[in-house]
Amino acid sequence: MASPFHILPDPQFPEREANTPQCGGSFPAAGLHPRPAWLKVRFFGGENFQELKRIMRGLELHTVCESARCPNQGECWEHRTATFMILGDVCTRACGFCAVTSGKPAGPPDEGEPERVARAVELMNLKYAVVTSVNRDDQPDGGASIFARTIASIRSLVPDCKVEVLIPDFRGSRAALETVVAARPDVLNHNVETVPRLYRQVRPGAIYGRSLELLRRAKERAPEMPVKTGMMLGLGEERDEVLQSMSDLVAQGTDILTLGQYLQPTREHLPVVRFVHPQEFAEYKQMGQEMGFRHVESGPLVRSSYHAFDQEQAARNNS
Protein backbone atom coordinates (compact mmCIF):
# COMPACT_ATOMS: atom_id res chain seq x y z
CA MET A 1 0.00 0.00 0.00
CA ALA A 2 1.36 3.42 -0.91
CA SER A 3 2.37 5.68 1.94
CA PRO A 4 -0.29 8.26 2.90
CA PHE A 5 2.33 10.61 4.29
CA HIS A 6 3.97 13.63 2.71
CA ILE A 7 7.46 12.26 3.20
CA LEU A 8 10.48 13.95 1.72
CA PRO A 9 13.58 11.91 0.81
CA ASP A 10 16.38 12.06 3.36
CA PRO A 11 19.72 12.84 1.70
CA GLN A 12 21.51 10.94 4.48
CA PHE A 13 19.53 7.77 3.75
CA PRO A 14 18.66 7.72 0.01
CA GLU A 15 18.31 3.96 0.23
CA ARG A 16 18.54 1.35 2.96
CA GLU A 17 22.00 -0.14 2.61
CA ALA A 18 22.60 -3.86 2.92
CA ASN A 19 24.67 -3.44 6.08
CA THR A 20 22.24 -1.02 7.76
CA PRO A 21 21.16 -2.40 11.17
CA GLN A 22 17.81 -4.18 11.17
CA CYS A 23 14.92 -3.39 13.55
CA GLY A 24 16.28 -2.01 16.81
CA GLY A 25 19.63 -1.06 15.29
CA SER A 26 21.53 2.16 15.85
CA PHE A 27 20.41 5.39 14.19
CA PRO A 28 21.12 9.02 15.04
CA ALA A 29 19.98 9.77 18.58
CA ALA A 30 17.72 12.68 19.45
CA GLY A 31 19.63 15.83 20.23
CA LEU A 32 22.65 14.81 18.16
CA HIS A 33 21.04 15.48 14.80
CA PRO A 34 18.03 17.47 13.61
CA ARG A 35 14.75 15.71 13.01
CA PRO A 36 15.17 13.55 9.89
CA ALA A 37 13.53 14.54 6.65
CA TRP A 38 11.06 11.64 6.70
CA LEU A 39 9.34 13.29 9.68
CA LYS A 40 8.72 16.59 7.95
CA VAL A 41 5.10 17.20 6.99
CA ARG A 42 3.35 19.87 5.00
CA PHE A 43 1.13 22.36 6.77
CA PHE A 44 -2.51 22.39 5.73
CA GLY A 45 -4.62 25.39 6.72
CA GLY A 46 -7.29 25.68 4.04
CA GLU A 47 -11.05 26.19 4.18
CA ASN A 48 -11.82 22.75 5.62
CA PHE A 49 -9.25 23.23 8.37
CA GLN A 50 -10.74 26.57 9.35
CA GLU A 51 -14.31 25.26 9.21
CA LEU A 52 -13.52 22.32 11.49
CA LYS A 53 -11.87 24.70 13.92
CA ARG A 54 -15.02 26.82 13.99
CA ILE A 55 -17.20 23.74 14.53
CA MET A 56 -15.08 22.51 17.45
CA ARG A 57 -14.97 25.91 19.14
CA GLY A 58 -18.63 26.62 18.47
CA LEU A 59 -19.68 23.36 20.10
CA GLU A 60 -17.09 23.65 22.87
CA LEU A 61 -15.45 20.37 21.96
CA HIS A 62 -11.89 19.14 22.35
CA THR A 63 -9.82 17.10 19.93
CA VAL A 64 -6.80 14.95 20.65
CA CYS A 65 -5.39 16.36 17.41
CA GLU A 66 -4.89 19.70 19.16
CA SER A 67 -4.36 18.62 22.76
CA ALA A 68 -1.73 16.01 21.90
CA ARG A 69 -0.09 18.20 19.22
CA CYS A 70 -0.48 15.57 16.53
CA PRO A 71 1.79 16.17 13.51
CA ASN A 72 -1.00 15.04 11.18
CA GLN A 73 -3.61 17.55 12.35
CA GLY A 74 -3.33 19.81 9.32
CA GLU A 75 -3.74 17.01 6.80
CA CYS A 76 -6.56 15.28 8.69
CA TRP A 77 -8.54 18.45 9.29
CA GLU A 78 -8.15 19.54 5.71
CA HIS A 79 -9.72 16.18 4.78
CA ARG A 80 -12.51 16.76 7.35
CA THR A 81 -11.48 14.10 9.83
CA ALA A 82 -10.73 14.61 13.51
CA THR A 83 -10.51 12.59 16.71
CA PHE A 84 -12.89 13.86 19.37
CA MET A 85 -11.59 13.94 22.94
CA ILE A 86 -14.37 13.62 25.51
CA LEU A 87 -14.52 13.85 29.33
CA GLY A 88 -12.86 17.27 29.31
CA ASP A 89 -9.31 18.33 28.54
CA VAL A 90 -7.60 17.63 31.89
CA CYS A 91 -6.20 14.13 32.47
CA THR A 92 -5.87 12.60 35.93
CA ARG A 93 -2.62 10.92 34.93
CA ALA A 94 0.70 12.40 33.82
CA CYS A 95 2.19 10.14 31.18
CA GLY A 96 5.73 11.02 30.19
CA PHE A 97 4.95 11.21 26.48
CA CYS A 98 1.62 13.03 26.39
CA ALA A 99 1.00 16.75 25.83
CA VAL A 100 -2.55 16.70 27.22
CA THR A 101 -2.84 18.81 30.38
CA SER A 102 -2.71 16.73 33.56
CA GLY A 103 -4.15 17.56 36.96
CA LYS A 104 -7.43 17.51 38.84
CA PRO A 105 -10.49 18.09 36.63
CA ALA A 106 -12.59 21.08 37.68
CA GLY A 107 -15.80 19.09 37.89
CA PRO A 108 -17.71 16.02 36.73
CA PRO A 109 -17.94 15.14 33.03
CA ASP A 110 -20.14 17.34 30.87
CA GLU A 111 -23.42 15.47 30.43
CA GLY A 112 -24.20 17.40 27.25
CA GLU A 113 -20.96 16.45 25.53
CA PRO A 114 -22.22 13.28 23.77
CA GLU A 115 -24.95 15.20 21.93
CA ARG A 116 -22.52 17.96 20.90
CA VAL A 117 -20.08 15.38 19.52
CA ALA A 118 -22.90 13.85 17.50
CA ARG A 119 -23.85 17.28 16.20
CA ALA A 120 -20.24 17.88 15.10
CA VAL A 121 -20.20 14.51 13.33
CA GLU A 122 -23.35 15.56 11.48
CA LEU A 123 -21.96 18.97 10.54
CA MET A 124 -18.72 17.39 9.33
CA ASN A 125 -20.69 14.81 7.32
CA LEU A 126 -18.53 12.02 8.71
CA LYS A 127 -18.87 8.39 7.74
CA TYR A 128 -16.32 7.31 10.34
CA ALA A 129 -15.83 8.97 13.72
CA VAL A 130 -13.07 8.35 16.26
CA VAL A 131 -13.72 9.17 19.92
CA THR A 132 -11.08 9.11 22.65
CA SER A 133 -10.76 10.68 26.10
CA VAL A 134 -8.53 11.79 28.89
CA ASN A 135 -8.23 9.48 31.89
CA ARG A 136 -10.86 10.22 34.50
CA ASP A 137 -9.75 8.21 37.50
CA ASP A 138 -11.84 10.57 39.64
CA GLN A 139 -15.03 9.01 38.26
CA PRO A 140 -16.42 5.68 39.54
CA ASP A 141 -16.72 4.28 36.01
CA GLY A 142 -13.79 6.20 34.54
CA GLY A 143 -16.17 7.92 32.15
CA ALA A 144 -17.38 4.71 30.47
CA SER A 145 -21.02 5.84 30.55
CA ILE A 146 -20.13 9.00 28.62
CA PHE A 147 -18.38 6.87 26.00
CA ALA A 148 -21.51 4.72 25.68
CA ARG A 149 -23.79 7.74 25.40
CA THR A 150 -21.52 9.32 22.78
CA ILE A 151 -21.69 6.18 20.64
CA ALA A 152 -25.49 6.10 21.00
CA SER A 153 -25.84 9.82 20.20
CA ILE A 154 -23.78 9.54 17.02
CA ARG A 155 -25.76 6.49 15.89
CA SER A 156 -29.04 8.28 16.58
CA LEU A 157 -28.15 11.44 14.65
CA VAL A 158 -25.95 9.93 11.92
CA PRO A 159 -27.01 6.27 11.59
CA ASP A 160 -24.62 5.45 8.75
CA CYS A 161 -21.52 6.68 10.60
CA LYS A 162 -19.19 4.07 12.03
CA VAL A 163 -17.71 4.77 15.46
CA GLU A 164 -14.28 3.80 16.75
CA VAL A 165 -13.43 4.40 20.40
CA LEU A 166 -9.95 4.72 21.90
CA ILE A 167 -10.49 4.04 25.59
CA PRO A 168 -8.38 4.29 28.75
CA ASP A 169 -7.84 1.25 30.98
CA PHE A 170 -10.60 2.22 33.44
CA ARG A 171 -8.23 0.99 36.19
CA GLY A 172 -9.11 -2.56 35.19
CA SER A 173 -12.85 -2.23 35.82
CA ARG A 174 -14.74 -5.02 34.09
CA ALA A 175 -18.03 -3.18 34.51
CA ALA A 176 -16.67 -0.06 32.80
CA LEU A 177 -15.36 -2.05 29.85
CA GLU A 178 -18.68 -3.90 29.60
CA THR A 179 -20.51 -0.56 29.46
CA VAL A 180 -18.49 0.51 26.43
CA VAL A 181 -18.57 -2.84 24.62
CA ALA A 182 -22.34 -3.10 25.15
CA ALA A 183 -22.73 0.16 23.20
CA ARG A 184 -21.36 -1.73 20.17
CA PRO A 185 -18.57 0.44 18.81
CA ASP A 186 -17.40 -0.61 15.36
CA VAL A 187 -13.79 -0.75 16.60
CA LEU A 188 -12.48 -0.76 20.16
CA ASN A 189 -8.96 0.59 20.62
CA HIS A 190 -6.79 0.69 23.71
CA ASN A 191 -3.14 1.61 23.29
CA VAL A 192 -0.43 -0.20 25.23
CA GLU A 193 1.91 2.60 24.06
CA THR A 194 5.27 0.97 24.83
CA VAL A 195 7.07 -2.15 26.04
CA PRO A 196 6.60 -3.21 29.70
CA ARG A 197 10.14 -2.29 30.80
CA LEU A 198 9.45 1.38 30.04
CA TYR A 199 6.04 1.63 31.68
CA ARG A 200 7.21 3.30 34.88
CA GLN A 201 8.48 6.39 33.06
CA VAL A 202 6.21 6.33 30.01
CA ARG A 203 2.85 5.31 31.54
CA PRO A 204 2.92 5.86 35.31
CA GLY A 205 -0.37 4.65 36.76
CA ALA A 206 -0.84 2.06 34.01
CA ILE A 207 0.01 -1.64 34.10
CA TYR A 208 1.04 -3.55 30.98
CA GLY A 209 -0.72 -6.74 32.04
CA ARG A 210 -3.90 -4.83 32.80
CA SER A 211 -3.94 -3.38 29.28
CA LEU A 212 -3.44 -6.83 27.80
CA GLU A 213 -6.33 -8.12 29.90
CA LEU A 214 -8.58 -5.32 28.67
CA LEU A 215 -7.87 -6.23 25.05
CA ARG A 216 -8.49 -9.90 25.72
CA ARG A 217 -11.77 -9.29 27.55
CA ALA A 218 -13.02 -6.97 24.84
CA LYS A 219 -12.38 -9.59 22.17
CA GLU A 220 -13.98 -12.35 24.24
CA ARG A 221 -17.05 -10.21 24.88
CA ALA A 222 -17.50 -9.20 21.21
CA PRO A 223 -15.57 -11.54 18.89
CA GLU A 224 -16.91 -9.85 15.76
CA MET A 225 -15.66 -6.39 16.86
CA PRO A 226 -12.14 -5.49 15.68
CA VAL A 227 -9.87 -4.81 18.66
CA LYS A 228 -6.97 -2.47 18.13
CA THR A 229 -3.89 -1.19 19.93
CA GLY A 230 -0.87 0.99 19.26
CA MET A 231 2.73 1.50 20.29
CA MET A 232 5.25 4.32 19.98
CA LEU A 233 8.83 3.58 18.99
CA GLY A 234 11.93 5.60 19.74
CA LEU A 235 11.61 5.70 23.54
CA GLY A 236 14.50 3.32 24.19
CA GLU A 237 12.84 -0.01 23.51
CA GLU A 238 14.87 -2.88 22.05
CA ARG A 239 13.93 -4.91 19.00
CA ASP A 240 13.30 -8.09 20.96
CA GLU A 241 11.07 -6.19 23.38
CA VAL A 242 8.95 -4.83 20.54
CA LEU A 243 8.56 -8.27 18.99
CA GLN A 244 7.67 -9.80 22.36
CA SER A 245 5.00 -7.15 22.92
CA MET A 246 3.64 -7.77 19.45
CA SER A 247 3.45 -11.47 20.27
CA ASP A 248 1.68 -10.69 23.55
CA LEU A 249 -0.88 -8.57 21.72
CA VAL A 250 -1.63 -11.20 19.08
CA ALA A 251 -2.17 -13.71 21.89
CA GLN A 252 -4.98 -11.53 23.30
CA GLY A 253 -6.83 -11.63 19.98
CA THR A 254 -5.84 -8.10 18.90
CA ASP A 255 -6.76 -7.49 15.27
CA ILE A 256 -5.14 -4.15 14.39
CA LEU A 257 -1.73 -2.82 15.43
CA THR A 258 -0.39 0.68 14.83
CA LEU A 259 3.29 1.57 15.21
CA GLY A 260 4.60 5.12 14.99
CA GLN A 261 7.54 7.30 15.94
CA TYR A 262 7.44 8.99 19.35
CA LEU A 263 7.93 12.75 19.05
CA GLN A 264 8.70 14.83 22.12
CA PRO A 265 5.88 17.41 22.44
CA THR A 266 7.77 19.76 24.81
CA ARG A 267 11.12 19.83 26.60
CA GLU A 268 9.34 18.76 29.79
CA HIS A 269 8.39 15.43 28.24
CA LEU A 270 10.48 12.31 27.69
CA PRO A 271 13.23 12.79 25.11
CA VAL A 272 13.38 10.89 21.85
CA VAL A 273 16.06 8.23 22.26
CA ARG A 274 16.32 7.69 18.52
CA PHE A 275 14.50 8.21 15.26
CA VAL A 276 13.36 4.90 13.80
CA HIS A 277 14.04 4.54 10.09
CA PRO A 278 11.02 4.00 7.78
CA GLN A 279 12.47 0.69 6.64
CA GLU A 280 12.41 -0.59 10.21
CA PHE A 281 8.74 0.26 10.41
CA ALA A 282 8.21 -1.67 7.18
CA GLU A 283 9.99 -4.67 8.70
CA TYR A 284 7.82 -4.56 11.82
CA LYS A 285 4.75 -4.40 9.59
CA GLN A 286 5.79 -7.54 7.74
CA MET A 287 6.60 -9.40 10.96
CA GLY A 288 3.29 -8.33 12.48
CA GLN A 289 1.37 -9.68 9.54
CA GLU A 290 3.27 -12.94 9.80
CA MET A 291 2.41 -13.13 13.52
CA GLY A 292 -1.30 -12.99 12.72
CA PHE A 293 -2.50 -9.39 13.05
CA ARG A 294 -5.30 -8.75 10.57
CA HIS A 295 -3.81 -5.34 9.81
CA VAL A 296 -0.62 -3.50 10.78
CA GLU A 297 -0.23 0.22 10.15
CA SER A 298 3.45 1.03 10.68
CA GLY A 299 5.36 4.17 9.79
CA PRO A 300 7.07 7.21 11.32
CA LEU A 301 3.98 9.42 11.29
CA VAL A 302 1.40 6.73 12.03
CA ARG A 303 -0.93 7.50 14.93
CA SER A 304 -3.66 5.18 16.17
CA SER A 305 -6.52 7.17 14.66
CA TYR A 306 -4.75 8.32 11.49
CA HIS A 307 -6.62 6.89 8.46
CA ALA A 308 -8.62 4.84 10.96
CA PHE A 309 -11.34 4.07 8.40
CA ASP A 310 -8.79 2.48 6.06
CA GLN A 311 -7.37 0.43 8.95
CA GLU A 312 -10.82 -0.90 9.87
CA GLN A 313 -11.64 -1.78 6.26
CA ALA A 314 -8.32 -3.56 5.79
CA ALA A 315 -8.84 -5.60 8.97
CA ARG A 316 -12.34 -6.67 7.94
CA ASN A 317 -11.15 -7.59 4.45
CA ASN A 318 -8.49 -9.83 6.00
CA SER A 319 -10.86 -11.58 8.42
Asked if 228 contacts 187 with a C-beta cutoff of 8 angstroms, the reply is yes
* Integer angstrom CA distances of residue 83 from 33, 173, 180, 309: 32, 24, 17, 12
Lowest-pLDDT choice from 22-31, 55-64, 283-292, 293-302: 22-31
Tell me, what amino acid is at 65? C
CA 148 to CA 126: how far, in whole Å?
A: 19
**Cα angle value 269/95/56 (rounded, 5°):** 90
**Cα angle value 253/255/258 (rounded, 5°):** 125
pLDDT single digits (tens) 142-170: 999 999 999 999 999 999 999 999 999 99
Long-range CB pairs of 180-185 (<8 Å, 24+ gap) are 180/144, 180/147, 180/148, 180/151, 181/218, 181/221, 181/222, 181/225, 182/148, 183/147, 183/148, 183/151, 183/152, 184/151, 184/222, 184/225, 185/151, 185/225
Q: What is the pTM of this model?
A: 0.84
27-41, 69-83, 120-134: which is most confident: 120-134
Lowest-pLDDT choice from 15-24, 78-87, 118-127, 295-304: 15-24
Look at residue 189 and tell me whether its pLDDT is greater than 80.
yes
CA 144 to CA 122: how far, in whole Å?
A: 23
Tell me, what amino acid is at 180? V
Burial class (CB in 10 A: 0-12, 13-18, 19+), 317: exposed
Percent over 70 (pLDDT), the chain: 80
Mean model confidence pLDDT for the chain: 84
CA 162 to CA 147: how far, in whole Å?
A: 14
